[in-house]
């Protein structure tokens, strides 16, 4: 898959079959659209092209929306790279781009840079300033600009919409079983290992404290989870671990932390990036009577996590 981040450097695509969207989650609903696009491209033959945006349009159009995303742009690129797509174009979404009228969006963006043979889009797709452009507007200009227009079936669109919403809701409440089924893979996030207070080491459960740098990345609800982790320089080795997200009430914590206890692991990894695959919610965070009770519960958590 070729990846482009600047429309001025795009090649001349051969019979471009393209679709447009945020593709947050790259979940099972999105994969149906990708399959349709690849089938169309193979039949022409032509090149498949996904157009997406960075940052997410809502962060520009409504910066106070508080939106959280299933994937960072880098994660989305990685997930799409394994889907057999020819080209991914990540368009910088700016206020200037948002001011394009619907007509300019087609003529000065889609046609100018992509010369599409076929556009695959949903009936509810809107574009251009004020979201004034839609499927019918695209259709009305298809003969003028010599492209074909194919509609994404309504049931697939509904699947995408429902799945995206349900995935975000599920992750937000710690329902990783539902989230991972709808995603078609195990939800993951990455963080840089930073210094903590080393309390876990004192009770036999040393943790790697993580700092997640992407402000828009959605994280699971507070609680304890069974996870796998990958250290940055060992991409093939998944290590079993347990994750805690919360305020550590037993020690009167006042700052929210994200910490991972990696089983049978003793190396220093400060400054390294860890990828955390969140498999299952184990329990809510709770206050214990003291460190001995906390330690006993952590032992039970670890025993459960090791079985997953």
Q: Is 121 within 8 Å of 148 (Cβ atoms)?
A: no
Q: Is 52 within 8 Å of 5 (Cβ atoms)?
A: no
Residues 6+ apart with CB under 8 A from 259: 196, 200, 207, 208, 209, 210, 243, 244
Distance (Å, rounded) from C-alpha 224 to C-alpha 259? 10
* Domain regions of the chain by residue span: 2-170, 186-306
**If residue 112 lies in a helix (H) or strand (E), which one and from where to where?**
helix 112-114
Q: Does position 206 have pLDDT exceeding 90, yes or no? A: no
pTM of the model: 0.92
Q: Does position 178 have pLDDT exceeding 70, yes or no? A: yes
Nearest one of 52, 39, 53, 57 to 118, comparing CA atoms = 39
**Res 197: pLDDT:** 66
Mean pLDDT of 167-183: 96
As given in the structure block, the two tokens for residue 235 are 């991409």
Average pLDDT, the chain: 92
Distance (Å, rounded) from C-alpha 235 to C-alpha 307? 22
% of the chain surpassing 90 pLDDT: 74
**Res 291: pLDDT:** 85
**Res 203: pLDDT:** 60
Mean pLDDT of 223-248: 87
Coil vs helix vs strand at 304: helix
Fold of 2-170: Rossmann fold (3.40.50)
Q: How does residue 231 score in pLDDT terms, banded at 50, 70 and 90?
A: confident
**Res 236: pLDDT:** 66
Q: How does residue 162 score in pLDDT terms, banded at 50, 70 and 90?
A: confident
Sheet holding 118-122, edge to edge: 2-4, 87-92, 47-54, 16-20, 118-122, 148-152
Nearest one of 99, 102, 97, 101 to 137, comparing CA atoms = 102
Coil vs helix vs strand at 258: strand
Q: Which residue has the higher pLDDT, 205 or 180?
A: 180
**Res 274: pLDDT:** 94
**Res 63: pLDDT:** 86
Distance (Å, rounded) from C-alpha 239 to C-alpha 259? 15
94-125 pLDDT per residue, tens: 999 999 999 999 999 999 999 999 999 988 88
Q: Does position 292 have pLDDT exceeding 80, yes or no? A: yes
Mean pLDDT of 172-191: 96
**If residue 227 lies in a helix (H) or strand (E), which one and from where to where?**
strand 223-231
Q: Is 301 within 8 Å of 280 (Cβ atoms)?
A: no
20-60 pLDDT per residue, tens: 999 999 999 899 999 999 999 999 999 999 999 999 998 99
Q: How does residue 277 score in pLDDT terms, banded at 50, 70 and 90?
A: very high
Residues 6+ apart with CB under 8 A from 81: 1, 3, 88
CATH architecture of 186-306: Beta Barrel (2.40)
Q: Does position 251 have pLDDT exceeding 80, yes or no? A: no
Nearest one of 177, 214, 194, 184 to 71, comparing CA atoms = 214
Q: Does position 200 have pLDDT exceeding 60, yes or no? A: no
Q: How does residue 204 score in pLDDT terms, banded at 50, 70 and 90?
A: low
């Amino acid at each position: 898959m070729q990846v482009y981040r600047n429309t001025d450097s795009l090649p001349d695509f051969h019979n471009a079959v393209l679709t447009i969207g945020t593709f947050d989650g790259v979940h099972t609903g999105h994969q149906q659209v990708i399959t349709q696009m690849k089938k169309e491209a193979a039949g022409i033959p032509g090149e498949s092209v996904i157009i997406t945006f960075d940052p997410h349009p809502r962060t520009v159009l409504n910066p106070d929306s508080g939106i959280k995303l299933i994937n960072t742009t880098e994660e989305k690129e990685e997930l799409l790279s394994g889907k057999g797509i020819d080209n991914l174009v990540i368009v910088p979404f700016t206020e200037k781009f948002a001011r394009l009228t619907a007509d300019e969006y087609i003529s000065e963006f889609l046609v100018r840079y992509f010369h599409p043979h076929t556009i695959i889009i949903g009936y509810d797709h809107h574009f251009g300033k004020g979201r004034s452009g839609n499927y019918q507007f695209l259709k009305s200009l298809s003969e003028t600009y010599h492209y074909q227009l194919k509609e994404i079936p309504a049931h697939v669109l509904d699947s995408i919409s429902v799945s995206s919403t349900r995935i975000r809701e599920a992750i937000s409440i710690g329902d990783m079983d539902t989230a991972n089924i709808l995603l078609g893979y195990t939800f993951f996030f990455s963080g840089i290992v930073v210094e903590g207070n080393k309390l876990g080491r004192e009770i036999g459960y040393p943790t790697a404290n993580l700092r997640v740098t992407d402000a828009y990345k959605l994280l699971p609800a507070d609680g304890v989870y069974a996870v796998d982790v990958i250290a940055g320089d060992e991409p093939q080795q998944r290590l079993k671990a347990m994750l805690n997200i919360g305020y550590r009430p037993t020690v009167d914590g006042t700052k929210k932390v994200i910490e991972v206890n990696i089983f049978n692991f003793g190396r220093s990894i400060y400054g390294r990036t860890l990828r955390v695959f969140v498999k299952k919610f184990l329990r809510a965070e709770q206050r214990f009577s003291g460190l001995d009770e906390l330690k006993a519960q952590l032992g039970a958590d670890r025993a459960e996590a090791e079985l997953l």
